[in-house]
Structure 1
Amino acid sequence: MNNMEKYQKIFMEIFEVSADALDDSFVFGEVEKWDSLAHMTLIAELEDAFEIMFETEDIVTFHSYENGINILKRYGVEL
């Protein structure tokens, strides 16, 4: 499984959506299941999967599926 597949799988499992739902419109505040608890679960799962530790600023600004890709790239994760 490549990194993009891992990233998608985490979103699909936490938010119970298909891969088709994951695009630039998948945004915190617009996705019903993306509440603060789901957000912290997402962060923890991503940190475990990619063996990184997010800075507080990145946790706060991680507000969309697309934005998450850019944040992970800053940590050296190739997607």
Structure 2
Amino acid sequence: MTNLEKYKNAFVEGLEISADQVTEALEYQGIPQWDSVGHMGLVASLEEAFDIMMDTDDIIDFSSYKKGIEILKKYNVQMD
């Protein structure tokens, strides 16, 4: 499984949504499932998938699908 597939899967598992709902346009509070509680589920899924521990500032800044890719680069996670 590629990192991009792991990334998308973390959204599916963390937000409990279908894979077709995961798009580059997806943003925090853009769907009902991505509220504050869903956000923490998403972060937990990402941390588990990539074996990382995100800083509080990064968790707060994680506001969209695209922004998440940028943030994960800080943890040496490349989307290829």
Structure 2-normalised TM-score?
0.86
Q: Percent identity?
A: 47
Unaligned runs of 5+ in 1: none
Aligned length: 79
Alignment of 1:55-74 (within 5 A): 55-74=55-74
Shift of 1:16: 4.2
Specify the alignment match of 2:77 in structure 1: 77
Structure 2: gaps of 5 or more residues: none
Q: Confirm or deny: 8 A CA contact 2:13 2:45 kept in the other structure.
A: no
Q: What amino acid does structure 2 have at the position aligned with 1:77?
A: V
Equivalent residue, structure 2, for 1:42: 42
CA RMSD across the alignment: 1.4
Provide the TM-score with structure 1 as the length reference: 0.87
Supply the AA of the counterpart residue of 1:7.
Y
